[in-house]
Structure 1
Amino acid sequence: MQTLAELFEHTLQDVQYAENAIVKALPKVIKAVQAAPLKRAIESHLEETKGQIATLKKVFATIDKKPEGVKCDAIEGLLKEADGLIEEAKGVALDAGLLAAAQAVEHYEISRYGALREWAKALGNDDAHVLLTEILDQEKAANAKLTTLAVTLVNK
């Protein structure tokens, strides 16, 4: 990669892979979570993530590219961490750990979508900018919801 446009495309492929990996991983997390409000929040985010994948297809269309993912080592590591918690943690520690793992994923997504949105703007791709802002806002809202659940329920 030598240009901002190439970096934009590569990072878009990265988040495409990440979102699909998240969709595959969340059912296992949902099954492991014990607190009903946390389970509902993760179920809701699973559906939202499916919608984000559809939105990403529209972003790829703005650069006339097919929506393809490239392996994302960062998301692989974060999801592996969640798997480890499912295997090792019990009770309150399980829910608290999985909530924290979910927030780590959200923080990763927020950083990626924030960068992509600004690169779209710099590249003059107004349509992608709007679509990526939509996803970024959803990720920030999901993180805020998880923070609220941590403070009011899971960590008590």
Structure 2
Amino acid sequence: MAQNLHSALVDLLRDIYFAEKHLTKAIPKMAKAAENEELTAAFQGHVEETRGQVEHLEKVFGLLDLKPRAKTCEAIKGLIEEGEEIIEENEAGCVRDALLIAAAQKVEHYEIATYGTMCQWADVLGLTDVKKLLGEVLDQEESTDKKLTKLAKAINREAAIA
């Protein structure tokens, strides 16, 4: 239970740390399931970026004089499960690719909301270095979301006529 804004920040940090670590395992499954080569490459690139984000979060824990520790994130567990269901229940092709993008963007939007909130809280708390690191990750998440939107435009048109 958060007793103040600082403890709320730490709680959210542990939540997103869990999320990022689990996404390093889930994203490769999505890359393997994607048929579109650009989508596969985007997922593969995001795996490496996500590993870097885990490192950023570990630095944030260090700045807060804490050991990195995850807190189970039920939201991300549900979103990962949804992605796995898409893979299991849909044949390979442009429709499944469109569904994979939708699932990935749900994850990105969750991450954008979380990092945006943590940046704001770090700013209010005067944690300039923490805000900087979290802001770098937020920028990456927003960039990934834009890339997925761009890919979706072409894949969705293809799926509409499939």
Output the TM-score relative to the length of structure 2: 0.94
Deviation of 1:89 after TM superposition, in Å, equals: 1.2
Counterparts of 2:40 and 2:32, CA distance in 1: 8
Deviation of 1:26 after TM superposition, in Å, equals: 1.1
Matched, 1:27 2:31: no
Deviation of 1:61 after TM superposition, in Å, equals: 1.0
Query: Which residue type is aligned with residue 138 of structure 1?
Result: Q
Deviation of 1:63 after TM superposition, in Å, equals: 0.8
Aligned residue for 1:78?
A: 79
Counterparts of 2:45 and 2:25, CA distance in 1: 14
- The one-character-per-residue Cα deviations of 1:120-139 (angstroms, maximum 9, x if unpaired) are 11111000010011000000
**Structure 1 residue ranges, 4+ long, deviating more than 4 angstroms after superposition:** none
Query: Which residue type is aligned with residue 14 of structure 1?
Result: D
Runs of 5+ consecutive residues of structure 2 not aligned to the other structure: 158-162
Aligned residue for 1:3?
A: 4
SS, match of residue 155 in structure 1: helix
SS, match of residue 83 in structure 2: helix
Counterparts of 1:65 and 1:120, CA distance in 2: 15
Output the TM-score relative to the length of structure 1: 0.98
Identity %, equivalent residues: 45
Runs of 5+ consecutive residues of structure 1 not aligned to the other structure: none
Aligned residue for 1:96?
A: 98
Aligned residue for 1:43?
A: 44
Q: How does 1:65-144 map to 2 (within 5 A)?
A: 65-90=66-91, 91-144=93-146
Counterparts of 1:108 and 1:129, CA distance in 2: 18
How many residue pairs align between the two structures?
155
Name the stretch that deviates more: 85-94 or 12-21: 85-94
Counterparts of 2:63 and 2:126, CA distance in 1: 11
Aligned residue for 2:61?
A: 60
SS, match of residue 19 in structure 1: helix
